Each structure stands twice: as structure tokens, then as C-alpha cells.
Amino acid sequence: MKVLLIHPPCEEEIYQRFLGLIAPPIGLAYVAAMLEREHEVKIIDMPAERKDIAKVKREIEMFKPGALGVYCATYRVDYANQVINATKEVDANIRTMMGGPHASLLAEDVLARNPNLDAVVCGEGEITVPELIHAWESGELAEIRGMVFRENGHVVRNPPRPLIADLDSLPYPARHLLPMDKYRLFGAFKMGTIVSSRGCPHGCHYCSVPAIYGRKWRARGAENVVDEMEYLCDNYDLDLIMFFDDNFDLDKKRTESICDEIMERGLEITWGYESASMDIDREHLKKLRDAGCRILSYGIETTSSKSIATMKKSISTQEIREVMETSKDLGMLRIANIILGLPGESKEDVEESIELAKELNPEYPLFFLPAPYPGTKFYETAQKMGMIKELDWSKYTTANPIIETQQLSLDEVRELNRKAYKEFYLRPGAMKNNLRMAYDFIKCGIIKPRHIPGLAYHQLKTFACLVRL
Ligand code: B12
Ligand code: SF4
């Protein structure tokens, strides 16, 4: 059967706006790699390829798939539904499915809201999707674990699918089906991504990962990971690789083995990852840096002691200061993810977080507004307390205010977010910091002359957007 997989866009891309990031839908590419063993598969990455629904509809008409699947995070659900509806308009016989975090967590709801959707795959898709396609060709849907589907007007939930135990056994994502030349960081660096582990043992209240996968962390071996890095370097003309794991550095020994393996093979590639923890000592950071890790995105989330207690993220301000300082000393570019206006935080607390951000002065802080995603503890509490004021899922991008607390109204939190970006970035200290970093990156050859037009264009665009905020 021909299968078409689609990455739908969403309303607001904070990462694209401030980091010039366009990232590949690697989950879809994993599913495609398994499907390709038996089927003809195509992927459309709508945001990266700048394709709208009309264009996608024309491609469906031309490709004539037997089945079509859409990735669905909460903030993408509107477009995901539009794709599903367009599919059935082209041909009502095309089978439709969704996967990804939102569909996994709210399968029945998603099916109930869109009669054009035939099935939802919950959690990992590598084994379930090929079984589902096979069943649509010939067999019995009731046998397939990990899916929810429509049958004779009823929604049926099958037993869950166990997690994939051996991630090393999976094929590499089918990147040849993705527009690899479109993926960028800072609008200029050609970026590849790798997922070297899945899951996370922590239980942060605002996070969907434990809600979907429980609290088990599964990791690939260092050799297998570096094989993929090497494969990416050999086959794509990349400037850097980002690890898009839920918790890449949980097992520091494994990370250091990855570093050793990179150095032993003499692999010269700049890479980075998002750190879920601030518990990283200088020696570890130095090892990472020596192996080419120059971009660290820190999930600080909150610096307010009130929120740390309610959101189950145990990071002290002291830890944050130390890690930030050390990574700066080691010449690493620092992105800091900070949530403003969590329940319990007053205007003064948020202003304190903004001041702390200025004091720490990472190159790229991103200020997010709290979004209670379905299935999380945060959602449960926010709903119980009547905090949720925005019901349109497409607004759950963390750029829009969703909850109102006793301390902060929607308008106040929106204004504080605007203030955070303006005050931070339009400061001589921030600009100086970025120039210093750019100089460092030019000196060590990460920024090459060919990157400069793209970087300059991205900076100008960000500046214009900040002025307009
Ligand atoms: C890397 C990542 C990012 C990257 C890149 C995103 C990208 N385009 O790849 C960046 C940093 C940009 C990012 C940004 C954000 N992210 Co993010 N991100 C992730 C992360 C950690 C990993 C995604 C990944 O590649 N996983 C590995 C692959 C293998 O897994 P997968 O994508 O889930 O795919 C599997 C299954 O879902 C399934 N599947 C996937 N697609 C399909 C399709 C079909 C048809 C089927 C049947 C099955 C199927 O099969 C795949 C293979 O097993 C996830 C966490 C997670 N585990 O999902 C959060 C996650 C998706 N992000 C999340 C959020 C909230 C955001 C932000 C809003 C955060 C913010 N503070 O601003 C922004 C939104 C930006 C945007 N507009 O996209 C939430 C989404 C919650 C929700 N309910 O939708 C997640 C789940 C994390 C969390 N803490 O809750 N993110
Ligand atoms: S550390 Fe990160 S991935 Fe783990 S539960 Fe917390 S937010 Fe989610």
C-alpha cells in the first residue's frame, strides 16, 4: 500500500522566531523507515517545505495513497484535522490515522471530534503502524496493540503496546524522505537531529512525556549513536547535529562514552542537546565541549521557589548560576528555557525571573507561558482550580496565555512575557554577549563565511520582531 505521512504546521513557532530553528519530524521518519520495508512511503513536512493545505491536497491527488498518517502535538491538532479532512475530500477510501503526543493522550477525544479520522496510534509507532497498514490491507484490527480505532460507529481501544526494549535494533529514521536541506538552526546552520534515548524518569508536572511513556528511560549504546552521527556527517552536508532526546544526559557515563567514541573516531562535528538537569559539573561539561558539544539548551523552566515546589522540578538558583558560568567559560552557546507565570507566581516573582535571566545572560533565553497539556498533572490541577481560560488547542504553543491564576490575569502574563523579551534582548549586555559568542564561533571555525548572510538575516528578523512586540 502507498502511505503518505504528514507533519502539519502550527500557529506560532517561538523556536523559529528566536532561534531560527526548523526541525525535522524525526518520529515520522522512524515510522517511515519501518514502513518502507514493505510499502511505498512519502513524507510531507508542511512547515519546512512551506506547503499549505491546498498544496498537500494536490499531492494527495497525485500520490494516491491507500493510507495517510499525521503527526499530532496539541498545538498542531487544528492543522492535523484539516489534513485528515482534505484527505477524505480527495478520496473517502483513503484510511486515515494520527499519532504523536496529543493523539496518544486524547485518542478517544480526537476520534470523536473528527469523523474523518479512522485510527489513532498511541505512543511509539514503529511496530504498530506497519501492523495497522497490514490489517487495513487484509486483517483484523482487534489484534493490534497500542491503537484506538473506529468500528461500526463505536470507538474501540485495544490493549497498550509495550515500549520498544532495544532501541539499537531500530533502523535509522528515513531521512531520505525528508527535505534535509531545509533544516536550520539560527537560520544558517544546516542541522541534523538524532534521538539517542527515549523517555525520562522524572515526573515534572507540566510534561507530557511521563504521561505518554511512563517514567522509563531507554537508551541506545554509545557506539550505535556515534555510528548514526558518522552516517549523518558522511551523507549530508551538515554544520551541526542536535540531540532531540527527552533526557539525553541522564546517564552521564553513557554521555561520556559517546564523547570518547566521537574523539576516538576523530569525528569533527559541532553538536548540542537540551539538558533536563542543572546537575552538571565542570569536568563533564569540559568533556562534552572537547567532543564538539557547543550548544546547550537548558530546561531551567522556573527559578521561583514556589513553582519549583508545585511543578516538581528541583533546581536551585545556585545550580543554575554555576552551570551557566561554567558553560560560558568553556565557550558553549547557552539557550535557556524559562516559564513565566506558573501558578503561585506573582508579578514580582516573574520580574525576579526576568532579572535573573539578565544577570545570567545566556545567549538565547526563551520565555514561555505555562500551557497545561492534556494528560499532565498540571492540566489536572489547572482544570480542578478553574484556571484554564483558553480552550483552543492551537493556542497551546506557550506563546499565548492559557491559564489565569489568583495572582496573574491573562493580560498581565501576556504583558510580562512581552516585557521579558524586550528587556532581555534589546539590552546592550545581550547584544555584546551575542557578538562575543559569534566572534568565538568564527575563531574556532563553527561560523564560516557562508553562514554570515543567513545569520545576519536571522538576527535582523528577530530584532524587527522584538521591536514590534
Ligand atoms: C525534540 C522536541 C522538540 C524540538 C523539535 C520538535 C521537532 N519538530 O522535532 C523543539 C525544541 C523545537 C521543540 C519545541 C517545542 N516542543 Co517539543 N518536544 C521535543 C521532544 C523532546 C522529542 C520529539 C521527538 O522527536 N521524539 C522522538 C520521536 C521518535 O518520537 P515521537 O516524535 O513521539 O514519534 C513517535 C510517536 O509519537 C509515533 N508517531 C509520531 N508521529 C506519528 C504519526 C503517525 C501517523 C503515527 C501513527 C505515529 C506517529 O511514532 C514515533 C516513533 O515511535 C518531545 C518529547 C516527546 N517524547 O515527544 C517534545 C514535545 C513534543 N514538545 C512539546 C512541546 C510542548 C513543545 C513546545 C510547545 C515547547 C515550548 N516550550 O515552546 C515547542 C513547540 C514548538 C513547535 N511549534 O514545534 C510537548 C508536546 C506536548 C503535547 N501534548 O503536544 C512534548 C511532548 C514535550 C513535553 N515536555 O511535553 N520540541
Ligand atoms: S525532566 Fe524534562 S522530559 Fe523529564 S519529566 Fe521533566 S520536563 Fe519532562
Ligand 2 mean position, distance from CA 209 (Å): 7
Residues with CB under 6 A from ligand 2: 200, 202-204, 207, 209-210, 246-247, 276, 299
**Residue 171, domain member (yes or no):** no
Instruction: Give the pLDDT confidence score for residue 41 in this predicted structure.
Output: 98
CATH number at residue 88: 3.40.50.2300
- Closest-lying ligand to the alpha carbon of 244? 1
Q: Domain span at residue 119?
A: 2-157
DSSP 334: E
**Residue 415, domain member (yes or no):** yes
At residue 73 the predicted structure's pLDDT band, cuts being 50, 70 and 90, is very high
- Distance between alpha carbon 302 and the CA centroid of its chain, in Å? 19
**Residue 430, domain member (yes or no):** yes
In tens, the pLDDT along 251-296 reads 999 999 999 999 999 999 999 999 988 889 999 999 999 999 999 9
Instruction: Give the pLDDT confidence score for residue 303 in this predicted structure.
Output: 65
Residues 326 and 429 in one domain: yes
Grid coordinates given for 316: 536551585
The bridge status of strand 240-243 relative to strand 189-194 is parallel
Grid-cell match 562514552, residue found: 257
Residues with CB under 6 A from ligand 1: 10, 13-15, 21, 23, 25-28, 30-31, 69-71, 73-75, 97-102, 121, 124-126, 129, 195, 207-209, 244, 246, 368, 373, 397-398
Average pLDDT over residues 160-168: 98
Average pLDDT over residues 8-30: 94
Mean residue pLDDT across the chain: 95
Residue 312 has pLDDT above 80, yes or no: no
What is the dihedral sign for C-alpha 34, 37, 38, 42? positive
- Distance between alpha carbon 343 and the CA centroid of its chain, in Å? 24
Dump strand ranges (E) for 306-458. 333-339, 364-368
**Residue 354, domain member (yes or no):** yes
- Distance between alpha carbon 446 and the CA centroid of its chain, in Å? 24
Residue 367 has pLDDT above 90, yes or no: yes
Residues 310 and 379 in one domain: yes
Residues 324 and 415 in one domain: yes
At residue 140 the predicted structure's pLDDT band, cuts being 50, 70 and 90, is confident
Residue nearest atom 8 of ligand 1, based on CA coordinates: 23
Ligand 1 mean position, distance from CA 47 (Å): 15
Instruction: Give the pLDDT confidence score for residue 131 in this predicted structure.
Output: 97
Residues 317 and 277 in one domain: yes
Residues 131 and 9 in one domain: yes
DSSP 451: G
At residue 304 the predicted structure's pLDDT band, cuts being 50, 70 and 90, is low
Domain count, the chain: 2
* Plot region of 344 (φ>0 → left; ψ -120 to 50 → alpha; else → beta): left
Residue 309 has pLDDT above 60, yes or no: no
Residues 146 and 291 in one domain: no
**Where is average pLDDT lowest: 44-48, 297-301, 436-440?**
297-301
CATH number at residue 252: 3.80.30.20
* Plot region of 383 (φ>0 → left; ψ -120 to 50 → alpha; else → beta): alpha
Residue nearest atom 2 of ligand 1, based on CA coordinates: 244
**Residue 441, domain member (yes or no):** yes
Ligand 1 mean position, distance from CA 417 (Å): 23
Residues 68 and 9 in one domain: yes
Residue 308 has pLDDT above 60, yes or no: no
Residue 395 has pLDDT above 60, yes or no: yes
Average pLDDT over residues 299-318: 67
Domain boundary among 157, 177, 210: 157
**127 vs 3, 161, 163, CA distance in Å?**
15, 9, 10
Grid coordinates given for 340: 513565566
**Residue 180, domain member (yes or no):** no
Pocket test for ligand 1, best of 31, 98, 111, 396 (most atoms within 8 A of CB): 31
In tens, the pLDDT along 341-355 reads 999 999 999 999 999
Residues 238 and 142 in one domain: no
Say if residues 295 and 242 touch (Cβ distance below 8 Å): yes
Grid coordinates given for 178: 525528508
Average pLDDT over residues 162-177: 98
Residues 112 and 198 in one domain: no
The bridge status of strand 2-7 relative to strand 218-219 is unpaired
**Residue 233, domain member (yes or no):** yes
Residues 356 and 407 in one domain: yes
Residues 291 and 420 in one domain: yes
**Residue 346, domain member (yes or no):** yes
Sheet with 240-243, edge to edge strand ranges: 184-185, 189-194, 240-243, 270-275, 293-301, 333-339, 364-368
Grid coordinates given for 40: 511505498
Residues 22 and 98 in one domain: yes
